[in-house]
Structure 1
Amino acid sequence: MKRHNLAIALSALLTSGAANADIIISEYIEGSSNNKAVEFFNAGSADVDLSTYVLEIYSNGSTEAGNTVPLEGTLPPNGLFVVAHPSANESILAIADKTGNLYYNGNDALVLKDGEVVIDSMGQVGVDEDWASEGVAMAEQTLRRKDSITSGDTDPSDVYEPHVEFDSYERDDISDLGFHLGFGEAPAEPKPEPAPEFGACGDSATLISAVQGSGFSSPMVDQEVVVEAIVTADHQGGSGSLGGFFLQEEDADQDGDPATSEGIFVYHQDTDVSVGDRVRLAGPVSEYYDSTQISNLTDITVCSSGETVSAAALSLPVSAMADFEAIEGMLVTFDHAVVVNSVDTLSRYGEFAISNERHYTPTQVAAPGEAEEPNLGLSSMLIDDAMSGSNPDVVPFPAGNLSALNSLRVGTEITNPTGVINYSFSEYRLVPTEELQYVDTNPRTDSPELADEGDLRIASFNVENLYNGDGQGGGFPTDRGADTEAEYQRQLAKIVAAIVNMNADIVGLNEIENDGFGENSAIAQLTAEVSAESGVDWAYVVFEGSDFVGSDSITNAMIYRTDRVAETGTAVFTTDAPFDFGNRPPIAQTFHDLLNEDEVTVVVNHFRSKGGCSDSAAAGDQDSGDGQGCWNATRVQAAETMLDWLAGDPTGRDVEDVLVIGDLNAYGMEDPIQALIDGGMTDLQMAELGAENHTYLYQGLSGSLDHALASASLSDKVVAVANWHINADEPVALDYNVEYKSETNQANFYNADPYRSSDHDPVIVAIATVEGDTGDNDGGDPDVDDGGSAPPGEEEMPNIDHATTSGSFPLWLGLSALFLALVRRRA
């Protein structure tokens, strides 16, 4: 929500309450796990009836309270009232006057109200921000009100800087909780529980379910316990291991409560144990970064071996995060197959995400604001190699270890995996205890699979910042892309392999270096390499009227096979608004199919990205929260302006067949795509592949940012469309970069093949050209077949924007067409 609209949304919330301003928030605790508490102090001179007071919590920038905690009782002058999270540790609960829904983090606002009157506040309602200033933060700190502050902050919409009124202390510091300005009464010190007798195997012991409890943290933190249970997974040895083992209660001793876990991690390496051992041990309970464990053992013995426990059933999605917590430390088996949903951190940390199905960006499959974003927290979790550290030489997923020739792709199915549930780095993880069974439901293909090859194939390909330095082996690092000549050669080889294998006749490119058209330019070197690798002659479209296409560091470009097509129009681009900044200038050229003398105008685009609007964007370009991100109005304007530009036949050819391709930075149902459809274009991917198609993967959500849209006449000729999944579904480790890779991984993870040549998948369109459909050749413009001039009074259109007119159509290409007509189109 925009700041200037907050007054409307929060009119009731902002009512001043000077007469009731004696109650203040005097201490705020955002500790580990659920150790959260808020202290209130009566700074006035009269008793205050708290029955009309409520603490409201506004989460993640919301303007509506997600949780509320009503206060109670009467608070005398200098009196204190402490509210604690119900699962806080015993020390906090011993001080608390009440427990309540204190579910907050450092980016959530707190508002104390008496009826509808604001009495005090922390944070800024309607803004999602981690509140911090000059070292004082609402996240992971204890904050105490300065002694000089005796009245509350009654404007919860103003800019919030916590250091102005609060001092900070270390996380979990509760030494002053229940005290303020010297007032308060210390609770009676609880008598420590005596350490339990260790006993013998088979003697009574504390159940693991009691240690785990039904909340997100153990109710027995810092207490010494004796447990006896079965080892389900052993991760004691080796550098980088978890340094312990998982225990699970025997089946007969499980409590039957679905809210309490029967498993726990034991941090201990000094006594060797094995899976199936029944172990009796003693040690204190702790929460290690919110993971319940037993460590610092005072005694341990192995009672027997060869025993088993039953694995609990697990299915995704779960209904709440508490469902994961209820199986923390336990042995589980999925009761259904799972799908690999993200491999972003596979090589970095030996982990990948699984889910119940592939998840799509909401605006790929439904209109903005109408589709609910998948809750990946409930429907996904990680599979982990249980090793600490980063960038290991050996990544054990998939079977046989990750390599350039042995990839783990998003969409791969895993049959009912089994393992123990670990919690670390704020994620629940399945650590496999059995070999994962992979089903290759999304295999690599050597080339795009199309139902019909057609006579003419046109592709769109974002080459992810292909920069060639100075074109002579130097000039690295550049603005983007490869950092060294060696990296560039690795990148170039993969992109060339992708272009050659996609078997297209015309390829529109995004994100290639905007360094002109000379022999050392990025486009010239790429074209030369494609020609050399494919064994056929390729050319690139030149804009001789300008050294560069626009002013951005990257640009759009086109290359084509000279034995299949020829340029017949005036190659053009426009830098008129909104293509003067943000949106890269679209480029257009008309091509002549040599087989059937058919013409098509190809337009390559790269619309402005979704990020970084901040306060500089106008209203329509701000992120409205409907899923379209920033700069949506600018992208819509680009779509509409481009259509108007094309209506003027900018290439000088009056051709009805038009193909709009490129990275439009908009998913399938978003406004820019709908603007093109409203302008008469057909979304070929939607028409041929359905809404659930993708060229890009972002944070576990799939969708198409790369598009192909055809005019009405051309759409009738389209026989097949494919998104060739060589990039989005592949681990990023398989790209050309050498950062964060050992020499072993630089060799093992790289191959000069199409896979992970970019972060976007190419789109390929197959067209059945029409024999004798020569576009405007019979309409009065020059006949490109004989190179004739225009009849008097019907000269070609002048250059529009930045343009160059192609030379006359070579005779040898006409002879080639006669020959090609006698043979099959595609060998």
Structure 2
Amino acid sequence: MPSKSSARLAALTVAAVCCASTVVAVSPAHADDAPRIHDIQGTTRLSPYAGQQVTDVAGIVTGVRVYGSSRGFWIQDPRPDSDPATSEGVFVYTGSTPTVSLGDEVTVSGTVTEYVPGGTSSGNQSLTEITKATATVVSTGNELPEAVKVGGRSVPAAYAPEGDEAEGGSINGLTLRPESYALDYYESLEGMVVRVDDARVVGATDPYSELWVTVKPRQHDNRRGGTVYGSYSSQNGGRLQIQSLASSADFPDANVGDRLAGTTSGPLDYSQYGGYTLVANDLGEIEDGGLERETTRAQRSGELAVATYNVENLDPSDDTFAAHAEAIVENLAAPDIVSLEEIQDNSGSTDDGTVAADETVGALIDAIVAAGGPRYDWRGIDPADKADGGQPGGNIRTVFLFNPDRVSFTDRPGGDATTATGVTKVPGGAALTASPGRVDPENAAWESSRKPLAGEFVFRGRTVFVVGNHFASKGGDQALSSQYQPPARDSEEQRHLQATSVNAFVKEILAVDKHADVVVLGDINDFEFSETARLLEADGALWSAVKSLPRGDRYSYVYQGNSQVLDQILVSPSIRRGSGLSYDSVHINAEFHDQISDHDPQVVRFRP
């Protein structure tokens, strides 16, 4: 997912936004013909005044942002018009610490600007602002306008209108219909004071002092308090990001399923990393929802347990080895085979040409033993330096852990960073030409991305082929709250090619032995209902076993308040048709503010 360290970028249309405002403490007469805030906001996302100078725009100061690069203040007209499509609030960008205070009545003169958080290439909606401003304090200590309650039926079930085809799918020029679409409803309140009452947390507090709540508590609720993203048509418009205008040191730690009790109120902003955001003057209290980390059952006699776990850029300098080991031993019940994603090289993110990861994996194996687990053996293939994407210098890759007391690994030499493993016929079935080996590594589908790792295991005399994956990330895709509807998901193109490559490899195995047991697993970076999943499953070669779970439990990741599937385990027909297939998405990370990874591990158990 994109980094939040990027600086504030340029405005969409006009005028740089670099100039601080000035405050003049006098009480001039207000011009009767001055535009009101609802005139400036208009009935579309783009102001009819964009690029123009405005004078004596009146309002009450309803929020003051003194932290970060986007410093400024919000004003709201206490005398609204009768049109529900026009907002009565607007942000005044200063670039430096504002000198106005809550409750000040001011008039503002400056330039109306449409600013796009993240820049125009992000596809984000624009935020109407007044920049290069002069603010005049007319009076102080005024009551703030009454906050608009956001929640329940006030937020439409439909998420967004279809974009204007003539404008490349943009919704910027469409007249707002706040009674019909959630994004239009929020836009009609841009810059105004809003409130949420007793809202359920659906996205845990992150390192940037943000959390997510839902204002539609019955919308795709699951058994653990989250909001499940189960199709492209169910974007969950009740999700709302919460920030605070106070110091981040005072921001509460919350997990999914907690409750933001009482009233939380403040101006409604639009952020680069989350879309519509309530920036709180008054923040409710967190009530503990009692969410606990899950533990899966141990494998039974005759069952093989295979898991996938993204350990999020693990390298020898990390302090999370003991926690990951406990997760594998206790929460995952020490699976027989574990495919690990995001194992970094021995020097971590230091870009020094190191590609070996034996120290990283060795430290994890030692920690697992210390936690009471088995001494796993492991297999992997070092990537070419800086060829597999991820954190620069980290050389992330997929590796296999396996418990040698339960399974054996069939080593066949010849696998390296660029040599593809193949499939050959041997007495009794199929075999890999290189084990471990990489799948189709020279295919352009894997450019700057992790190459699949294939291995041949034996359990109770039965060969099991395991293919570990870490597909291309969703970085660069347009957000659900994008100005383009439906938003573009350009990163899918590479994952579609990757899925086709892996599917073809599995079909090579099945062409030799149609009864072969094949497990394809890892961080697929796409949903179980996506085209990526369909291409992996093509021609019946595989089946995503997460679909055996109830819909409310199909998730391994929480992004912007949506609980969703990114990690999957797919199985060949012999496993799907066999006895005792059992799947578990083990929720230990994604819903918690103190996560050791942003992904939840997955485990499948079956009888080969």
- TM bin (shorter chain): 0.5 to 0.7
Distance 2:326 2:344 in 1: 19
Structure 2 residue 425 is the aligned partner of structure 1 residue 579: no
2:367 is aligned to 529
- 1:247–1:266 Cα contact (<8 Å) kept: yes
**% identical aligned pairs:** 18
Structure 2 residue 63 is the aligned partner of structure 1 residue 233: yes
After TM superposition, list the pairs within 5 Å mapping 1:106-145 onto structure 2. Answer: none
1:558 is aligned to 401
Secondary structure of the corresponding residue to residue 328 of structure 2: helix
Distance 2:264 2:243 in 1: 12
RMSD across aligned positions (CA): 5.1
Structure 2 residue 169 is the aligned partner of structure 1 residue 302: no
Q: Which amino acid aligns with 2:81?
A: D
1:663 is aligned to 522
Of 489, 493, 496, which aligns to 2:325?
496
Q: Structure 1-normalised TM-score?
A: 0.47
1:223 is aligned to 54
Structure 2 residue 282 is the aligned partner of structure 1 residue 434: yes
After TM superposition, list the pairs within 5 Å mapping 1:1-150 onto structure 2. Answer: 33=12
With a CA cutoff of 8 Å and minimum separation of 6, indicate the structure with the bigger relative contact order. 2
1:496 to partner: Cα distance: 1.6
Q: Which amino acid aligns with 1:560?
A: N
Structure 2 residue 89 is the aligned partner of structure 1 residue 263: yes
1:383 is aligned to 242
1:506 is aligned to 336
Unaligned residue ranges in structure 1 (runs of 5+): 1-30, 36-169, 173-195, 400-405, 467-480, 593-598, 613-622, 650-657, 735-754, 770-774, 776-827
Shift of the 431–539 alpha-carbon distance from structure 1 to 2, 3 Å rule, reads closer
1:159-200 Cα offsets, whole Å, 9 max, x none, are: xxxxxxxxxxx989xxxxxxxxxxxxxxxxxxxxxxx99239
1:579-619 Cα offsets, whole Å, 9 max, x none, are: 24255342122224xxxxxx66543212473479xxxxxxx
1:431 to partner: Cα distance: 0.7
1:540 to partner: Cα distance: 1.9
Q: Which amino acid aligns with 1:642?
A: I
- 1:508–1:558 Cα contact (<8 Å) kept: yes
Distance 2:357 2:137 in 1: 74
Structure 2 residue 375 is the aligned partner of structure 1 residue 538: yes
Structure 2 residue 101 is the aligned partner of structure 1 residue 273: yes
Residues 502-511 or 674-683, more deviating: 674-683
2:349 is aligned to none
1:689-726 Cα offsets, whole Å, 9 max, x none, are: 44861334678682243205365577654374211233
2:5 is aligned to none
1:65 is aligned to none
1:723 is aligned to 585
Distance 1:506 1:231 in 2: 61
Shift of the 713–213 alpha-carbon distance from structure 1 to 2, 3 Å rule, reads closer
Q: Structure 2-normalised TM-score?
A: 0.61
Q: Which amino acid aligns with 1:255?
A: D
Distance 1:550 1:295 in 2: 51
1:686 is aligned to 547
1:222 to partner: Cα distance: 1.8
Secondary structure of the corresponding residue to residue 223 of structure 1: strand
1:786 is aligned to none
1:264 to partner: Cα distance: 3.0
Secondary structure of the corresponding residue to residue 549 of structure 2: helix
- 2:457–2:465 Cα contact (<8 Å) kept: yes
Shift of the 694–677 alpha-carbon distance from structure 1 to 2, 3 Å rule, reads farther
Distance 1:304 1:335 in 2: 25
Of 63, 70, 74, which aligns to 1:246?
74
Unaligned residue ranges in structure 2 (runs of 5+): 1-9, 18-25, 116-126, 162-170, 177-183, 223-227, 347-355, 389-394, 416-420, 424-437, 475-489
1:655-699 Cα offsets, whole Å, 9 max, x none, are: xxx462522736434566676585576643212344861334678
1:395 to partner: Cα distance: 5.3
2:602 is aligned to 763
May I ask how many residue pairs the two structures share in their alignment? 474
1:480-533 Cα offsets, whole Å, 9 max, x none, are: x53xx423xx24333322212221341322345799xx9966545433331222
Secondary structure of the corresponding residue to residue 500 of structure 1: helix
- 1:266–1:293 Cα contact (<8 Å) kept: yes
1:418 is aligned to 265
1:8 is aligned to none
Structure 2 residue 148 is the aligned partner of structure 1 residue 311: yes
Distance 2:464 2:290 in 1: 31
- 1:261–1:329 Cα contact (<8 Å) kept: yes
- 1:279–1:301 Cα contact (<8 Å) kept: yes
1:256 to partner: Cα distance: 1.1
Secondary structure of the corresponding residue to residue 384 of structure 1: strand
Distance 2:359 2:140 in 1: 73
Q: Which amino acid aligns with 1:533?
A: A
1:333 is aligned to 195
Shift of the 633–291 alpha-carbon distance from structure 1 to 2, 3 Å rule, reads same
